Amino acid sequence: MAEPNQPNPTPGRPAPGTPGSKPSGSKSSGSAKGKPSSGGKGGSMPEAATQEQVPHHKSARQRRGRKKGNMDLNLTSMIDVTFQLLIYFIITAAFSAGEGILTAKFPQGTGQSAAKDPPKRPLNIRLAPHLDENGLDSYRLDVEVRGTPVGQASFEDLYTWLRSNNNAINSAGPYPDDNPVIIKPQNGVRWTYVVNAFNAAIKAGYKNVAFAQAGGG
């Protein structure tokens, strides 16, 4: 007799030991004698089929009624975590605009590392604050040549002027490329314009470009 609390593993098929099923020990004697149930000389197909339908032994798993099938890994949790990570990285990704550097000297005479030799014929680039026609902050630019200011409309003009006067590029230019170029901004000039003037001088081929202390204005 089957145990009262044991479930029937195969619905529609009598459980072993229940009325209507063959006694489980009926075929065990054949196996015990070493006779193969199928494939052997003495084996017959109907007998083998009967043995398959009514196995004499079932594992505990089969008895518990697990159905056959592929074993699948539950990926739901992993996908959840993965998407959380993805969203985090997308949100925190900072595609900041690229930045570069310009190497510069410091203002003269302001510290222990200031330039030692005062230049004889420095090119002074003067920058003053200015309001444009729209009332916005702008700049006024000129190059001081032997005390005379030569006005420059833009940084492009400044670059052109400096380049045409650079002896290393233009043989008619009076200034060698190691001639000191000093940028002299006034107090109210934006840092952007100061760096632009510096950039124009470097671009024009001058190697000795420095900042001066801020002037009044």
Partner 1 sequence: MSQVTEKGPKSPQMNMTPMIDVTFQLIIFFMLVNTITSTEDVEMIVPKLWEPEIKEIKDVEKVVINVKLKPTDPDAKRDGEEAWMYGHTVEFVRIGLDTYAPEDLARMTKDLKEVKEGRKKIQVILRADGALHYGELQPILQHITQAGIELINIVAYMPDGGPDNAPHL
- CA distance to 159, 182, 193, 196, per residue, from 124 (Å): 14, 5, 15, 15
For 81, phi and psi rounded to 5 degrees?
-65, -40
Amino acid code (one letter) for 19: P
**In contact, 127 and 154? CB cutoff 8 Å:** no
Rule CB under 8 A: say whether 75 interacts with partner 1: yes
Rule CB under 8 A: say whether 90 interacts with partner 1: yes
Q: For the CB of residue 81, give the shortest distance to partner 1 in the complex, in Å.
A: 10
**Sheet architecture: strand order including 123-131:** 148-152, 137-145, 123-131, 181-185, 209-211
Rule CB under 8 A: say whether 116 interacts with partner 1: no
C-alpha of 120 from chain center: 51
Q: For the CB of residue 25, give the shortest distance to partner 1 in the complex, in Å.
A: 27
- CA distance to 82, 85, 92, per residue, from 78 (Å): 6, 11, 21
Site track for partner 1 across 15-54, x = CB under 8 A: ----------------------------------------
Closest to partner 1 by CB, 42 vs 69, is 69
Rule CB under 8 A: say whether 194 interacts with partner 1: yes
Rule CB under 8 A: say whether 62 interacts with partner 1: no
What residues make contact with partner 1 under the rule CB under 8 A?
Answer: 10-11, 67-69, 72, 75, 78-79, 82-83, 85-86, 89-90, 92-107, 110-114, 127, 134, 136-138, 154-156, 159, 185-196, 198-200, 202-203, 211, 213-214
